């Protein structure tokens, strides 16, 4: 910064905003404040017979992402994973996990906040949720299950594109923040 005739000038020409003369920080900021297991359920409905079954399990993995504002600058992002392992003989195990992160954000445009909450935050939380699932499956008496990586940004882009196509086809307009019509 240079002082010319008492006026502060931004010499780096980035146009970046930062702390203003009145002390208010107007620069965008986003971060994971903390993360935690909100709910974990492990079922082993066919025990102890399941440990004698020779066939490998067929695992169905479902996930869902939710975000709730808990304060003006704080959101709880929930990554919900449901894994069901079955064989020809029945259900081997079911793992239900709600893994959450508190996301602090300020001075972020609404569309960018939505993208962070539904794509980037789940991407950051996923490795930890994956570890919890692997441990839960191992603790249930099975080999640890490493869930394949998920392209949350790609899925978000696909869903956003599908919503826009639906809207263009005459459907009700979709609010990009809530996802509601």
Which residue ranges in the chain fall short of pLDDT 50? 1-14, 16
Structure tokens at 57: 């399990």
Q: Does residue 42 fall inside a structural domain?
A: yes
Q: Does residue 19 fall inside a structural domain?
A: no
Q: Does residue 175 fall inside a structural domain?
A: no
Give the number of domains in the chain: 1
Cα 39 to Cα 75, 82, 144, distances in angstroms: 18, 11, 19
Domain that holds residue 95: 27-161
**Strand (E) or helix (H) holding 35:** strand 29-43
Q: Does residue 110 fall inside a structural domain?
A: yes
Look up the pTM and report it: 0.77
For 147-161, write each residue's pLDDT tens digit: 999 999 999 999 988
Q: Does residue 61 fall inside a structural domain?
A: yes
**Long-range CB contacts for residues 109-113, cutoff 8 Å, separation at least 24:** 109/28, 110/176, 110/177, 111/176, 112/28, 113/30, 113/177
> CATH number of the domain that 102 lies in?
3.10.420.10
Q: Does residue 147 fall inside a structural domain?
A: yes
As a whole number of angstroms, the distance between CA 12 and CA 75 comes to 33
Q: Does residue 45 fall inside a structural domain?
A: yes
Residue with token string 């709880």: 76
For 10-40, write each residue's pLDDT tens digit: 434 445 455 556 667 778 889 999 999 999 9
Q: Dihedral through CA 110, CA 113, CA 114, CA 119, nearest 10? A: 160
Per-residue pLDDT at 163: 87
* CB 77, CB 121: distance < 8 Å: yes
Per-residue pLDDT at 99: 98
Q: Does residue 82 fall inside a structural domain?
A: yes
Structure tokens at 135: 């441990």
Per-residue pLDDT at 17: 52
């Amino acid at each position: 910064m240079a002082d010319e005739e008492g006026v502060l000038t931004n010499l780096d020409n980035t146009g970046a905003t930062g702390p203003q003369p009145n002390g208010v920080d107007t620069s965008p900021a986003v971060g994971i404040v903390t993360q935690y297991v909100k709910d974990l359920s492990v079922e082993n409905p066919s025990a102890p017979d399941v440990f004698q079954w020779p066939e490998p399990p067929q695992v169905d993995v479902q996930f869902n992402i939710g975000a709730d504002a808990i304060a003006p600058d704080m959101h709880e992002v929930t990554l919900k994973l449901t894994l069901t392992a079955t064989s020809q003989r029945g259900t081997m195990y079911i793992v239900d996990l709600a893994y959450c992160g508190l996301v602090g954000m300020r001075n972020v445009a609404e569309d960018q906040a939505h993208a962070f909450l539904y794509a980037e935050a789940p991407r950051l939380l996923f490795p930890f949720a994956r570890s919890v699932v692997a441990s839960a499956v191992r603790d249930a008496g099975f080999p640890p299950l490493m869930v394949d990586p998920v392209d949350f940004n790609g899925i978000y882009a696909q869903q956003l594109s599908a919503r826009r196509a639906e809207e263009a086809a005459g459907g009700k307009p979709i609010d990009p923040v809530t996802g509601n019509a």
